[in-house]
Structure 1
């Protein structure tokens, strides 16, 4: 700190805060772009709540403040995950991704932890007014995310064995899906019970398709976290394709388009068209135009399937949907 800064500590702190804010804004723009993370949050919430509305059509499912708050809650949770992962993967990224913000000094750990604290405060504001259960469940999920950092440092098996890591890290996504279900129940005065597991299975299949796709490589890369390094190219590709097919089957089983009439029938079959993204990804990968399964079609499948379920839900339960 210079002599001038020491004589004006408030001004110095203000400049430091503004600098950190700019660095965090640049970090999120690079590592968690809104066009991906915000869209994912919107479609995940709408797709799963649409699934729940189809499973419990008697409930009053509405587009309102609670639904908007849940989208914001999930979006901030995704940002929290991104911030934690940036710190958790520090050693791996030093070897394999040295150009990332934390590794190249564009952001530091202190600033990332400030962002985590601010996100927690915002999350409590978004959930606390709806119900203590939503706030408590979210804090449990965020706490588990932080616990995973310690777990990977303690356990070489969790850190180095990709399928074990997936087993212990997927509950983060599952708990967010449960949060969306709890939000639906809070807003609608009830909702599907045991058979809501179909919604959880749908979200698991959709997420796993993207997870396996982005870590399926055409060749073995020593030290890289690829599922294909463990089960081979064919095995990893089979998991990628199988999850997409299973997700589509579950979506169609929930919507049951063959039982619909009129325009609702067209909307009901919309989730099936998400397989076009599966075909596109498989074709690009099989022709060796990409070293790994292309993430664009994998994300496209995820987004389009959720959108298809949401549109189908609107067509089927439209009388209960409104302002």
Structure 2
């Protein structure tokens, strides 16, 4: 058992975060996701939207929740990583499970406090995401099928993302900023399609290296490509449903981001080898969420 002096822990955690929770990726994703979801939720009511102090509480809460879940993933994937990823921090001893659990406890307290200062509803909504993540860790430990079957695992793990989206939207409803209606469900479906497009894209390839957990291994590369492209199409469909009736054709400009998955699908199928073009998948997430946030500011 590794013993670490307390003064060393912050530096060790910092190195873990920089490697396994790259700020340029995860912080950017959390920021754009919250701004796009909150901005669109307000904009579809015809009201001008501007970020507020509450917006930044939601951004910080979602980013820290993603870090909490990443730390949890590192622990529940330890057995797999020992075989297939021996350089991971938890495997090498660069960080310990005790350090990660301590950091997770601090994150939970900080996020709960931030949200409880606004409302009990906000605190309960974000805690639901934490609780579901912990439930998943226990479930994967008990069920080899949930742990090892990729599509089943996705079916039971994705709701944690839905809970985080529900936290953002529910917080707006609790504050009286928006009224809960079908548009909220459509916005959450839009975010789900954007996330799932990226999720399938990053785990789609014509070849499956040893230890790789790919959706294409079970579905086949062509069917995986169809599902990946289908989620991008679903994101466009949700935007048309939400914004087409608002009168301005500029409101549908975020849909232009769909050119990226369209080109990536064509390239992937034509190549017949290699992984899905990762730049296109990342670009679709960034372009869609950034365009939605800008749209909410410019076209209330």
What is the aligned partner in structure 2 of residue 251 from structure 1?
239
Q: TM-score, normalised by structure 1?
A: 0.86
Kindly state the Cα deviation for residue 288 of structure 1 after the two structures are TM-superposed.
Answer: 4.6
1:60-79 CA-to-partner distances (Å, cap 9, x unmatched) read: 74421101100000000010
What is the aligned partner in structure 2 of residue 48 from structure 1?
37
What is the aligned partner in structure 2 of residue 116 from structure 1?
104
Q: TM-score, normalised by structure 2?
A: 0.92
For the residues of structure 2 that align with 1:300 and 1:191, how far apart are their CA atoms? 32
1:159-203 CA-to-partner distances (Å, cap 9, x unmatched) read: 111111111101100000100101222344432423311011101
What is the aligned partner in structure 2 of residue 26 from structure 1?
15
What is the aligned partner in structure 2 of residue 194 from structure 1?
182
CA pair 187-194 structure 1, distance change in 2 beyond 3 A: same
Confirm whether residue 67 of structure 1 aligns to residue 67 of structure 2: no
> Which of these residues, 215, 226, 230, is aligned with residue 238 of structure 1?
226
Indicate conservation of the 8 Å contact 1:141/1:172, yes or no: yes
For the residues of structure 2 that align with 1:220 and 1:256, how far apart are their CA atoms? 41
What is the aligned partner in structure 2 of residue 10 from structure 1?
none
For the residues of structure 2 that align with 1:270 and 1:70, how far apart are their CA atoms? 26
Secondary structure of 2:83's counterpart equals: helix
> Which of these residues, 146, 153, 162, is aligned with residue 174 of structure 1?
162
Confirm whether residue 96 of structure 1 aligns to residue 84 of structure 2: yes
> Which of these residues, 256, 267, 278, is aligned with residue 295 of structure 1?
278
C-alpha root-mean-square deviation of aligned residues, in Å?
Answer: 2.2
Secondary structure of 1:18's counterpart equals: helix
Kindly state the Cα deviation for residue 286 of structure 1 after the two structures are TM-superposed.
Answer: 4.3
Kindly state the Cα deviation for residue 118 of structure 1 after the two structures are TM-superposed.
Answer: 1.1
Indicate conservation of the 8 Å contact 1:208/1:240, yes or no: yes
In the alignment, structure 1 segments of 5+ residues that lack a partner are: 1-12, 318-323
Confirm whether residue 269 of structure 1 aligns to residue 271 of structure 2: no
Confirm whether residue 87 of structure 1 aligns to residue 75 of structure 2: yes
For the residues of structure 1 that align with 2:22 and 2:209, how far apart are their CA atoms? 27
What is the aligned partner in structure 2 of residue 163 from structure 1?
151
Q: How many residues align?
A: 298
For the residues of structure 2 that align with 1:131 and 1:123, how far apart are their CA atoms? 12
Kindly state the Cα deviation for residue 17 of structure 1 after the two structures are TM-superposed.
Answer: 2.5
For the pair shown, the structure with the greater C-alpha radius of gyration is 1
